[in-house]
Amino acid sequence: MSNLPSSYSQFIEQVKNNIRLARLNSLRAINRETVELYYKVGNMLAGKVAGEGWGQSVVVKISQDIQTEFAGIKGFSTSNLWRMKAFYEEVAGDEKLVMPSREIGWSHNYTILERVKDTAGRIFYMDMCRDKGWSVETLREKIRDDEFGKYQLFQSNFEQALEPERMAQVRWQFKDEYNMSLLGLREEVLEKELEESMVKNIVKLLADMGRDFTFAGRQYKLEIEGDEVFIDLLFYHRRLRCFVAIELKATEFEFRDMGQIQGYLQALDQQVRYEDENPSIGIIICRSKNRTKVEYALQATGKPVGVATYSFKQLPETFSKYLPSEEDLQQSLTRGNVDEQ
């Protein structure tokens, strides 16, 4: 249709975004209510097992009666009823899990509780499922690959450079190693090739980084008294409300890399950042690093900076069927996942 009002494009995008947000909130509400229900049933069943010695035959009968009363209902198989009991016992026994367990789906919850035994790891995976919209298969893959360990190893000076409240928000946004195998590059890649491939595959990159990252530009130009400098990749993090400048290095980390990113962050904060936004964060992603050298460099800077590496680890063929399609990745940036119940 021709002769549309000049503000139409902006208007229709706002309507679409509101619809996406409403759908996302509805899906989250369904997940939350399901988890609440299973927690209550688990509580009731745990009491009967402990107090009256109820066993397998009774639980089988419970499953049959529920499915007779509510034809077609899912989630009340005998095995799932036992999972509800175990879920209640695990969560009730650790108050730190109460809130994060309510923010993800049921299948995600019992996968985490069955496969991760320490509280810090459980909270990490729950937060990642909430923030990044991981499917259950992706979650299982991340646990197998010790994603928690990668985030724990991430080197930064965030604890010194950021106030405690902001430090808590930033902590799990970055990891120590990024797997670039999905970009289809050889290991001896040049910085320009790596950068081009990351931009070309920006949907996959954003899906791995999380929904809150928004791509702001490649070779983002800043002018400093007539001189031009260029940031390899620039993102904006909506929740942190700050720019994230990423510098790619196809070589081992060097001290000069830290000086470069500090200058970029200073220029970003003075020229681009609004007054109500938080100071920018810098991330250096290099081919390899001497961890002691990185620690020395981080101690010498007041700007919030982190240093990670990249690799080209190939996933086992048995995992390939779990890789999401381009369409799935695009959808994951705008909506959450509803688990099987």
Q: Is a pLDDT exceeding 70 seen at residue 20? A: yes
CA distance 265 to 248: 15
CA distance 116 to 305: 30
Q: Is a pLDDT exceeding 70 seen at residue 331? A: no
Report the run of H or E that residue 2 belongs to, with start and end: none
* pLDDT tens by residue, 79-100: 999 999 999 999 998 989 999 9
Select from 3.20.20.80, 3.40.1350.10, 3.30.465.10, 3.30.110.30 the CATH code of 154-332: 3.40.1350.10
Backbone dihedral angles phi then psi of residue 333, each to the nearest 5 degrees:
-80, -15
Kindly give the pairing relationship between strand 305-311 and strand 155-156. antiparallel
Report the DSSP beta bridge partners of residue 114.
none
Backbone dihedral angles phi then psi of residue 279, each to the nearest 5 degrees:
-55, 150
- Among 23-32, 214-223, 313-322, the minimum mean pLDDT is found in 313-322
Per-residue pLDDT, 340: 44
Q: Is a pLDDT exceeding 80 seen at residue 234? A: yes
Query: Nearest to residue 200, comparing CAs of 178, 220, 211, 215?
Result: 215
* pLDDT tens by residue, 131-153: 888 899 999 999 998 999 988 99
Query: Nearest to residue 248, comparing CAs of 184, 314, 308?
Result: 308
Strand ranges, E, within 92-207: 155-156, 177-179
Backbone dihedral angles phi then psi of residue 111, each to the nearest 5 degrees:
-60, -45
Largest distance between two CA atoms of the chain: 81
Per-residue pLDDT, 335: 42
Query: Nearest to residue 136, comparing CAs of 116, 109, 101?
Result: 109
282: DSSP letter: E
Per-residue pLDDT, 320: 45
Averaged over 249-256, what is the pLDDT? 93
Q: pLDDT class for 193, splitting at 50, 70, 90?
A: confident
Find which of 127-131, 190-194, 208-212, 262-266 is predicted with most confidence, using mean pLDDT: 262-266
Under 8 Å between Cβ of 284 and 258: yes
Please give the span between the terminal C-alpha atoms of the chain, in angstroms, as a whole number. 44
Query: Nearest to residue 326, comparing CAs of 225, 163, 150, 202?
Result: 202
CA angle 321, 326, 331 (to 5 degrees): 105
**What length is written for the chain?**
341
Task: Find where tokens 């830290």 sit.
Answer: 258
Q: pLDDT class for 161, splitting at 50, 70, 90?
A: very high
Q: Is a pLDDT exceeding 50 seen at residue 336? A: no
Query: Nearest to residue 139, comparing CAs of 170, 107, 169?
Result: 107
Q: Where are the domains of the chain?
A: 8-149, 154-332
